A and B are shown apart, each in its own frame.
Chain A
Amino acid sequence: MQETPSTAIAAGTTASRRRRRSRGRFLQAATPYLLIAPVVIVIAVILGYPLYWLAKLSTQRYGLFELIQHAGTSIGLDNYRSVLHDEIFWRTLLRTVVFTGCIVGLTMTIGMALALLLVRVSRPVRLLLSSGLILVWSMPVVVAVQVWYWMTNFQNGVLNYVLTQLHAGDYFQHDWYATTFSQLGMVSLLIIWGALPFVAITLFAGLAQVPGDLVEAAEVDGARPWRVFVDITLPIIKPILLILTSLSIIWDFGVFTQPYLLIGQSKIHTGNYLMSIYLFEEGYFKSDFGRGAAISVLMLAIVAILSIVYVRRMVRIGSEA
């Protein structure tokens, strides 16, 4: 076979161009996978591996001895059986559900009221109020706990002083951490205070979507403010309300730092456990990792069910864009 140099070159370049193109196509198809690969690998290793261990631990007797030996003894589903037959588990679950319900209800109601207030006030007051909210939002949780503890301590807390001055009763040296109800009440106040800015500001941003002329038209037609709110405002901001509510439920159900630090380790007992604290005390503090793992699995399952609404909604948003 004889080829002129020029045709050989031409054939060569076509082939290499074709090869380059097919390599390019392959690269193009692979690009997204290459881009997400690092994150996927890291997550698989640092989360997947512990999750695998979580499942394994939950079927083992695994205490301090086994931790040092690096080997647990398989005991089947005994850990789960033990937890599900534990009266403290069910009481804690019920307490946590009621606690979460109260906090979420109050946060959403007050947050909505604050958002509506932000709409009503004049510009300078709006700036003042929203700056204040953002300041509160930025406070680290541990710092907020310490401040709360200082404000509510029985000897010279400012809360007792103010309540007494306002003639709300005699709160001289009133101990807010004496009963479970009062302890959890203080924890709730702290959590609500910390959560309000996020809820209020997000709802306020949502209220900006409500067309002003629609509200005005309704008012001209003589609709009462409450009806305007229920019939016009509420349907428009419903998606945001839904997302905020499910986020709040998920967060408040698993809350740990505020109750653990505000009530204080020395005052925590089976009668004021919340879910995360139950898990921490029974599993980590008592070094009963196997049983703790079983509690974790149950808790993760509950939160997974609670998250369905939120995750589905967000995934739909993510897939659209």
Chain B
Amino acid sequence: MSRRSRRRARQTGWDIVGVLVFAVMVFPVFWMISTAFKPSDEIVSLNPTWVSLHPTISHFRDAINRPYFWEDVKNSLIVVSATVIISVTLAFLAAVGLARYRFRVRTLFIVLVIGIQMLPQAGLIIPLYVVLARYHQVNALTGLVVTYMTFVLPFCVWTLRGFLLGIPKDLEEAAMVDGSTRLGVFVKILLPLMGPGLVATSVFAFVTTWNEYIFARVLLNDQSKQTITVWLSYFYGTSRHTDWGALMAASTLTAIPVVIFFLLVQRRIAFGLTAGAVRG
């Protein structure tokens, strides 16, 4: 065998491994979607079919007709949009401060921003529950929005700061020399350039908030007041009578908005958590 063909054989070997790893990693997602479209008798069969030849959408119909589905989707949307809009707005201001100015408590502020993101959420459920109960905000979406902001705000500050660092300062300075006011620079130069960064950060905040489980579980008890992730977690009653088809259809529906948004922005934002360590 020549050197070249040996190299090609090795390349093919790696490619086969790559495809196998892909298959194993993606299998659960595939299985979710495949089950969601299968007729019930194929789902409970002891010899599973990989892809049904008689796909059905009846499980999706079952899932969305379950009690509280639409209410809880609405709740999720309200909580998510409120959290994202408030957080991104406030965080943008702080990010400008962090990326463009040096000031005395800067390091302390960075410690705060990084440190909060490391707090284990379970460690905060008890004080948040007790405090919100005192102000009658348990079982209210406002309480949840406020809670989510604790985590989403620092994340947004840090990510937006990363995007701002990518915009050269010279642009703003040139505009200042030309007689623009600081506010003018902010509106005319920073904001348009930050468009993609703001969108990406908002989307990522959306995904985080939409997926959150533990606070929603603890802070909202009323079934009509819950978010979609808590709704999904209560889906199966007793394991013997689980309607797997409907459960997988519901799972698919819960995942769809997140997956779409995530795929759109992943490349822009993936490195926020390790920013600086990865020069990508």
Interface residues of A (CB under 8 A from B): 31-36, 38-40, 42-43, 46-47, 49-51, 53-54, 57, 62, 67, 70, 114, 117-118, 120-122, 125-126, 128-129, 132-151, 153, 155-156, 158, 161, 193, 196-198, 201-202, 205-206, 208-209, 239-240, 243-244, 247, 250, 253-254, 256-257, 261, 264, 275-276, 279-280, 283-284, 289, 292-293, 296, 299-300, 303-304, 307, 310-311, 313-315, 317-321
Contacts and interface: CB of A to CB of B under 8 A. Distances in A.
A296 B90 CA distance: 29
Nearest to A190: B28
Q: How large is the interface on B (under 10, 10 to 19, 20 to 34, 35 or more residues)?
A: 35 or more
A119 to B, nearest CB: 9
Contact of B21 (A54, A67, A129, A310): A129
Contacts of B147: 46
A57 B133 CA distance: 14
Contacts of A120: 11, 14, 18
B268 to A, nearest CB: 12
A39 B90 contact: yes
Contact of B211 (A125, A134, A140, A151): A140
Contacts of A198: 270
Nearest to B213: A257
A75 to B, nearest CB: 16
B97 A36 contact: yes
B123 A254 contact: yes
Contacts of B19: 125, 128-129
Given A36-B94, A138-B207, 11 more contacts: A34-B97, A39-B91, A46-B146, A117-B21, A134-B263, A136-B29, A137-B262, A141-B211, A143-B32, A161-B46, A318-B276
B97 A32 contact: yes
A85 to B, nearest CB: 20
Contacts of A276: 120, 122-123
A20 to B, nearest CB: 13
B119 interface: yes
B133 A67 contact: yes
A50 B124 contact: yes
B171 interface: no
Contact of B277 (A146, A279, A313): A313
Contact of B18 (A117, A151, A319): A117
Interface of B: 11, 14-15, 17-19, 21-22, 25-26, 28-29, 31-32, 35, 43-48, 90-91, 93-94, 96-103, 106-107, 109-116, 118-131, 133-134, 146-147, 149-150, 153-154, 157-158, 161, 165, 182, 207, 210-211, 213-214, 218, 229, 232-233, 235-236, 239-240, 242, 244, 247-248, 250-251, 254-255, 258-259, 262-263, 266, 270-271, 273-280
A196 B146 CA distance: 31
A57 B259 CA distance: 40
A293 B126 contact: yes
A300 B149 contact: no
A189 B248 CA distance: 20
B94 A39 contact: yes
A36 B229 contact: no
Given A146-B232, A146-B251, A205-B271, A36 B98 contact: yes
Contacts of A142: 211, 213, 229, 232-233, 254
Contacts of B14: 117, 120-122, 125
A144 B28 contact: yes
24 contacts: A32-B101, A49-B131, A114-B21, A121-B18, A129-B18, A135-B263, A138-B255, A138-B266, A140-B210, A140-B254, A142-B229, A143-B251, A143-B254, A144-B28, A146-B236, A146-B251, A161-B46, A201-B270, A254-B121, A279-B123, A293-B126, A296-B126, A318-B98, A319-B107
Given A39-B153, A143-B232, A125 B131 contact: no
9 tightest Cβ-Cβ pairs between the two chains A and B: A254-B120, A35-B97, A317-B276, A276-B122, A138-B262, A32-B101, A54-B127, A50-B127, A121-B18
Most buried by B among A121, A208, A300: A121
B118 A310 contact: yes
B127 A53 contact: yes
A244 to B, nearest CB: 7
B277 A239 contact: yes
A109 B32 CA distance: 27
Contacts of A151: 28, 31
Contacts of B125: 279-280, 283-284, 296
Contacts of B214: 256-257, 280
A315 B43 contact: no
Given A156-B46, A240-B274, A317-B277, A62 B130 contact: yes
A57 B248 contact: no
Given A254-B123, A313-B277, A193 B28 contact: yes
Contacts of B111: 311, 315
A43 B278 contact: no
Given A135-B263, A151-B28, A320-B276, A50 B131 contact: yes
